[in-house]
Structure 1
Amino acid sequence: MIQMRRPEDALYEFQTAWNSHDMESFGALFHEDATFVNRFGHYVRGVEAIIKLHAPIHATIYSDSALENELIDVVPIRDDAAVMHFWSRLTVGAAHPSGPHAVDTLILAVLTREVDEWRIKALENVTLANPRTGEAVLRDGRGF
């Protein structure tokens, strides 16, 4: 069972649920009415929709994928709300139609606490891209 006692716990739990391809655990990170915007700008609301968005890709093109997250910051808003930014490197394997490659994204998550448990209320994922070409790039500068 996932227990997030601090907002930054979401960073590890997000990575763990993704890497195990367990979409029920992934869904447990979110409030029932949470919103999610994926790296392609697809917006969904609610845990059921978040799971429905991710389950098919984890069964196919992301079945051999892995995430590695790195915290940037946690900005408290109140005692029971915070904004968190983190880097996320998605590495995909042979299951992806484009073959093995990596993608870096910047994630913004709004978390709120209810009864001593933190959950994600809203999350938006943005792919790092070269502003001149739109081509995806990695944080270490490869691709520029």
Structure 2
Amino acid sequence: MTVEQIISGMQRAWNAGDGAGWGAHFAEDADFVDALGRIQRGREVIGTEHQKIFDTVYRGSVLEYRLIGSRPLGDGLLLVHTDSTLHVPAGPRKGTVDGVQTKLIRDGLILAFHNTLRGDLASFTKHDQALAERSPLDWKS
């Protein structure tokens, strides 16, 4: 599968609430780091854990993926970055959530996936204006 096919297939599986379909894009021994920093290991676990959220907090949600970029790292390994918008219609996560993802892909399967929620720096710094105005390279002190 191409990177584009993987991304569109994952989007379709999410929007159908299909945990097994989501998991099918991962290698048997893949690692998935969710937005809360929890590590899920293995295709079956990743599919099962996603089915739980499809059936509960993300029921009826709609995911949109966009490819940011992809580059080869050698030995058939690709580094892929995507961003996403998740629309959740109801429940405790109701609203829109933006994220960015890093994936390592080889032979059409995801070996590793890291999901990060996007937020604004002002909220992250508890509205500390001086910190909120710093660029990432200024975060040394």
* TM bracket, shorter-chain basis: 0.7 to 0.9
2:34, 2:116 within 8 Å by CA — same for their partners in 1?
yes
- In structure 2, the residue matched to 1:69 is 65
Give every structure 1 segment of 4 or more consecutive aligned residues whose post-TM-superposition deviation is greater than 2 Å: none
Number of aligned residue pairs: give it.
125
1:8, 1:74 within 8 Å by CA — same for their partners in 2?
no
* 3-state SS of paired residue (2:3): coil
Verify: 1:27 aligned to 2:39, yes or no: no
Structure 1 residue 123 displacement after superposition: 0.2
Distance in 1 (alpha carbons) for counterparts of 2:103 and 2:4? 10
Q: Which runs of 5+ in 1 are unaligned?
A: 136-144
Verify: 1:17 aligned to 2:17, yes or no: no
Report Cα offsets for 1:15-64 as digits up to 9, x if no partner.
11111111111111000000001111111110121122211111112111
Choose from 110, 113, 129 the match for 1:120: 110
RMSD over aligned Cα atoms: 1.5
TM-score w.r.t. structure 2 length?
0.83
Mark the structure with the bigger radius of gyration. 2
TM-score w.r.t. structure 1 length?
0.81
Verify: 1:50 aligned to 2:46, yes or no: yes
Distance in 1 (alpha carbons) for counterparts of 2:41 and 2:119? 26
Structure 1 residue 98 displacement after superposition: 4.4
Identity %: 34
1:8, 1:84 within 8 Å by CA — same for their partners in 2?
no
Distance in 2 (alpha carbons) for counterparts of 1:98 and 1:53? 17
Q: Which runs of 5+ in 2 are unaligned?
A: 126-141
* 3-state SS of paired residue (1:49): helix
Higher helix share: 2
Distance in 2 (alpha carbons) for counterparts of 1:47 and 1:67? 20
